[in-house]
Amino acid sequence: MRAYFSRRYRLSASHRLHTDSFSEEQNRAIYGKCNNPHGHGHNYVIEVTVGGPVHEETGMVCDMVHLDACVRKEVVERFDHTNLNLDPLFQDRVPTTENLCMKVYQLLVAAFDEAELVRVRIEETSNNSFEYPVSGVLR
């Protein structure tokens, strides 16, 4: 029997949405106020969902302490109170929340093996959220 467990984490980070291959006018047209040369910040909520069999002895999908330690080490300590544009993961890509979501997923899937990483969802604002991967989407 398979079950799922989701846990939420919070971090604050800044970024500037800007692509060097575009002109200043193109960047402003595409990214609007998010292209501010000084950047802007968000209080991100990151939800991590893992899945797997419920362990008979513990009654849990995974050890929450291990999951917390992994997310803290791989994600929170790395990105909290930083400028995402300066992280090597975003050296060649715009640090949109879509890209952040995919990178967080990749970091966690490589580091956490106690259960299957099913999904990472990042809430950027009360109106914007992103998730990766998305299953069951009609194409």
Which residues have a catalytic role annotated?
A: 34, 81, 124
Whole-number Cα distances in Å, 123 to 9, 11, 12, 44, 74? 10, 11, 12, 6, 18
The whole-angstrom separation of Cα 123 and Cα 42 is 9
Which residues, at least 6 apart from 81, have a Cβ–Cβ distance to it below 8 Å?
11, 12, 13
